[in-house]
Amino acid sequence: MKIVALAGGIGGARFLRGLRAAAPDAEITVIGNTGDDISLFGLRVCPDLDTVMYTLGGGINEEQGWGRAAETFTVKEELGAYGVGPSWFGLGDRDVATHIVRTQMLAAGYALSAVTEALCDRWRPGVRLIPMTDDQVETHVVVEDAEQGRRAVHFQEWWVRLRASVPALSIAAVGAEDAKPAPGVLAAIEAADVVLFPPSNPVVSVGTILAIPGIRDAVAAKTVVGVSPIIGGAPVRGMADACLTAIGVETSARAVAEHYGLGLLDGWLVDDADADVRVEGIEVRSRPLLMSDPDATAAIARAALDLAVELKQAEDVR
């Protein structure tokens, strides 16, 4: 069984850990979002790729969901003592080593996909992790306030520094239209039996991956099942509602499925709280969707995979 999953950070990574447990013999390829990537202190930081790599590799800070376990922040404190910011981004000492290796390899001419593979040699995530593209794509958010007027800021500045407290007027994946899928991305999708969308942010994680020319069409040709990141009209954690509002999509399990659309989604898993959701042309199933512990998460992944296999078999018969 060959499975492709499009993943952002925390929600994606936790789901993937469940998927790996639910389908230990499957060949899983993860296409990671790089729209959140940012250069800080001269270092290239890829938050979503690293969250997937650390989570599946056993190095994640479990409570936080991002960053390294047993982390210290001496480098950050020392930078602060020099008055060198930004101070709002939590770069830990252990984490910094990852970014140094990445930045050094990129400077030596390696593509991000090759760098990611090299980093995964250490972490052995048990999946093949490929960035959506080797080209630079950055998610920018247009905000407006009284002091500084209307301006575009990097996604991380809006998400981490402003905690999405300033409404986003629009969100754009800058550079996406000219980007190419990284080597192996389209081939993995074409070879996949099924494609899964974890409960990742539908706008700035899955949406950004789908914005890379060629990826959406390749995915649409497959049997695709998504897991709703919205339960009972609210994100389970984080501020995904602020992203949905920015693109004019209601924060509900039904609206997110309709946003992906029946051209893309074949099946949609919603929480029991949303059991009444119906979407024309998409097979909707409900079950508990809280990734509260590894067993519960594996059961969610199993349900998504079972639905995908069922829908694929039905399609193959037709």
- Determine which residue in the list 48, 138, 266, 274 makes contact with ligand GDP, applying CB under 6 A: 48
* Angle of the 93-107 helix axis to the 112-123 helix axis, nearest 10: 140
Which residues partner with 167 through β-bridges? none
Pairwise CA distance, residues 165 & 141, whole Å: 12
Q: Kind and range of the H or E element at 210?
A: helix 206-210
If the CB atoms of residues 46 and 284 are measured against Ca ion, the closer one turns out to be 46
For residues 250 and 242, what is the distance between their CA atoms, to the nearest angstrom? 10
Least Cβ distance, residue 98 to Ca ion (angstroms): 16
Distance CA 206, CA 247 (A): 14
Q: Which of 185, 235, 257, 311 binds ligand GDP (CB under 6 A)?
A: 235
Indicate which single residue of 3, 4, 5, 10 sits in contact with ligand GDP (rule: CB under 6 A): 10
Among the residue ranges 18-26, 140-148, 200-208, 255-263, the one whose residues contact ligand GDP (CB under 6 A): 200-208
**34 near ligand GDP, judged by CB under 6 A:** no
Name the segment binding ligand GDP (CB under 6 A); options: 72-80, 101-109, 173-181, 198-206.
Answer: 198-206
Q: Alpha-carbon distance 167 to 150, whole Å?
A: 11
Whether the Cβ atoms of residue 231 and residue 271 lie closer than 8 Å to each other = yes
Find where tokens 């700035």 sit. 204
Number of H helices, E strands in the chain: 12, 14
Task: Output 127 or 227, the one with its CB closest to ligand GDP.
Answer: 227
| Amino acid at residue number 250 | E
Of positions 55, 61, 200, 208, contacts ligand GDP by CB under 6 A: 200
Which residue's CB is nearer to Ca ion, number 86 or number 288?
A: 86
Q: Give the shortest CB-90-to-ligand GDP separation in angstroms.
A: 14
Is 160 a binding residue for ligand GDP by CB under 6 A? The answer is: no
The residues of the shown chain that bind ligand GDP, judged by CB under 6 A, are: 8-12, 48, 199-201, 205, 227-229, 231, 235-238, 240, 289-291
